[in-house]
Amino acid sequence: MCRNIHTLHNYEPHATSEEVHAAALQYVRKISGSTKPSKANEEAFERAVHEVAHATQHLLDSLVAHGPAKDRAEEAAKAKARAAIRFGTA
């Protein structure tokens, strides 16, 4: 369920609001144990996603990087190469 939560700090270009929201959604799904809340819990679920995304964005905005920013495309290529080795795919 949490495979889609990735490091968002110190990348160029910076994390988008969609990436922050996706990470918040995955986090709330994980801790609630539900990928889709019931109608009775939907409002609380969506509120939690919004609050976690808001807090995450504040965190990212206030963190200080001590090294050079990583290139997103380059890091994605490295991850794809690692996955190919790990899972034996081309």
Mean pLDDT score of the chain, rounded to an integer?
Answer: 91
Mean pLDDT, residues 14-18 = 93
Question: Per-residue confidence at 30, pLDDT binned at 50, 70, 90?
Answer: very high
pLDDT at 35 over 60: yes
pLDDT at 32 over 90: yes
Mean pLDDT, residues 30-52 = 96
> Strand 70-71 relative to strand 11-12: parallel, antiparallel, unpaired?
parallel
pLDDT at 8 over 80: yes
Task: Confirm if 47 and 79 have CB atoms less than 8 A apart.
Answer: no
pTM over 0.85: no
